[in-house]
Structure 1
Amino acid sequence: MSRLIDKEPLPTHQKPLRVVVAGLSRTGTASLYVALQELGFTPWHMCEPIDDPRQMYNQWTEAMNCRFFNQGRHYDRDDFDRLRGKYDALLDIPASLFWEDLRRLYPEAKIILTTRSADSWFQSVHNTIIPWLEKPILNVLQFVEPRRLRPELRMVKTAYKVICNNDYRSDSLRQRFLDHNNRVRFGVQSESFLEMQLGDGWEPLCAFLRVPVPDKPYPKINNTNEFNQGASEADAAILGGLLRPWLAAIVPIAVAAWWLLA
């Protein structure tokens, strides 16, 4: 079966994959993304601006469907090299769901588990990601906005199908979070593994990565209010982009009709 990733050329010059962050979304991954940038890494996170989100989002969705739902050949190291491109650190879903594959394919990479209490994670997810996934207008607009919204929604929903079979509201979601974290803890050798709680800051991270501690506060971004504000702004931009061509066509017609009838 032909796969999307098979159409991508294998990079000739590429950074090695240095870090895989296995923590699920809403465990401080956005702050760690900024921290890794400060430390000289080139990290991938869902908040990373990219030229063609459709391409990467569709490939991540394909990778999940192949790996977790037996819809094609599993991605190997060459496939992940094609997918990650210039990035030498991978964070957030769906990359975190592949921590075991990435550990096996890139044994030189370090694994970081970002985590928090199950109750606070459950509350954070239900104050941010789940309402966004269930927003009616987005689930309608996805059918007329194929560049970013449709691939992004499909990718995130596929990730949560892996995590909890899209059963967002069940208390079992807490247990899935705990199970994921325990699999990571017991699946990685200690010298290649760091667990970071919210608020741990620079010291354990820099010691683990063997880099100097920056002379600035550790980043703290993308809290609930920032997430929801950013999501609302992105949704408004998508809606504006869809309406702009219609308005450009309608306004001159309305002005001409008013002039003729006045």
Structure 2
Amino acid sequence: MADLQLYQWIWPLRQPSRTRPTDKPMAVLGLGMPRTGTESLKAALEELGYATYHGFEPAGNPGDCVTWCNLIEQKNKTKTMKMTTTKTAGKVEPLTAKDFDKVLGHCQAVSDTPSICFADEMIAAYPDAKTILNYRPNIDAWQKSITAVVGRNEALIGTLIKRVLVLFSPELFWLQQHVNRIDFDTLWRGDIIANATTVYKEHYAHLEKTAPPERTLRWCVQDGWEPLCELLGKPVPNKPFPHKNTPEEQQKVLAKRLWPLARDAILRFVLTMVVVAAGGCWLWARWR
């Protein structure tokens, strides 16, 4: 937590302080893995009347990343405390609905990361919410999809953004912290390509044992409206089920959200270099 506090001082960014209206409780936890129709599920849930927090949201609201990083830190400390008998280690409270509502209070549903990295905590925090385990019937096809997405995102973001521009943009810095701490370290255990299939299988095996069966639906996009509407007690819409977030759409969304931040960071970088060069020239002229 100390490093996060230091980072928040160096790269300050306003965090959300949302509150949940009493008449709009958390209703749906979409806890399936990425690339299993999470964006299509979001579109479907919103058609049914549930504002939904999806994995793209932090890219559009980088301040959310600070809160999510603090939440994953608290989750990890709570886990460590459960594994140790050291009384002097201090007390860390488990995450509650109040903690999550700071970032999710405006929504009644979640889908994709970062929420799935808090699956157990969210199930406990929102005991009345229904759980949807969206999945892909073909794991091999899913693994190929994830691998392709990783390659495309690496090409889109590039070394310049990850190593240099993040230092000149609080928004990019916290987006990178979010990806590193939550996606890379927590979900994928340090290696997306090597661990994808194992993580996928273990994620569903765990939730199929721990999620309350009376309010949990195992569902894939091909199942369409009917199972979702039955679970949620909603009439079936008279329209085709949405199919969102093709690889091309994902790239467009990321580019639209990241490049304005990268452009501003480039400007700050250039201005910094100009100031440093001017200062160096002035000092050289005085000492010559």
- TM-score with structure 2 setting the length: 0.74
Report Cα offsets for 1:184-214 as digits up to 9, x if no partner.
1111222200111132211111111110111
Give, as a single letter, the amino acid of the residue that structure 1 aligns with 2:19. P
CA distance in 1, matches of 2:260, 2:146: 23
CA distance in 1, matches of 2:151, 2:205: 23
For residue 127 of structure 1, what is the aligned residue in structure 2?
A: 148
**Structure 2: any 5+ residue segments left out of the alignment?**
6-14, 81-91, 275-288
CA distance in 1, matches of 2:262, 2:127: 44
For residue 28 of structure 1, what is the aligned residue in structure 2?
A: 37
For residue 258 of structure 1, what is the aligned residue in structure 2?
A: none
Cα distance, 1:76 vs structure 2: 1.8
Q: Secondary structure at the match of 1:137?
A: helix
For residue 27 of structure 2, what is the aligned residue in structure 1?
A: 18
1:195 aligns with 2:218: yes
CA contact (8 A) 2:40 2:221 kept: no
Give, as a single letter, the amino acid of the residue that structure 1 aligns with 2:259. A
**Structure 1: any 5+ residue segments left out of the alignment?**
251-262
Segment drifting more, 194-203 vs 235-244: 235-244
Q: Secondary structure at the match of 1:215?
A: coil
Cα distance, 1:234 vs structure 2: 3.2
Give, as a single letter, the amino acid of the residue that structure 1 aligns with 2:149. T
2:252 to 220, 223, 229: 229
CA contact (8 A) 1:10 1:78 kept: no
1:42 aligns with 2:51: yes
Q: Secondary structure at the match of 1:169?
A: helix
Q: Secondary structure at the match of 2:62?
A: helix
CA contact (8 A) 1:27 1:115 kept: yes
- TM-score with structure 1 setting the length: 0.81
Greater per-residue helix proportion: 2
CA contact (8 A) 2:95 2:125 kept: no
Q: 1:60 to 1:138 in 2, by over 3 A?
A: same
Give, as a single letter, the amino acid of the residue that structure 2 aligns with 1:239. A
For residue 110 of structure 1, what is the aligned residue in structure 2?
A: 130
For residue 174 of structure 2, what is the aligned residue in structure 1?
A: 151
For residue 187 of structure 2, what is the aligned residue in structure 1?
A: 163
Cα distance, 1:89 vs structure 2: 0.7
Q: Secondary structure at the match of 2:192?
A: coil
Q: 1:37 to 1:12 in 2, by over 3 A?
A: closer
Q: CA RMSD in A?
A: 2.8
CA distance in 2, matches of 1:63, 1:203: 35
Q: 1:132 to 1:74 in 2, by over 3 A?
A: farther
CA distance in 2, matches of 1:91, 1:8: 19
For residue 255 of structure 1, what is the aligned residue in structure 2?
A: none
CA contact (8 A) 1:33 1:43 kept: yes
1:142 aligns with 2:172: no
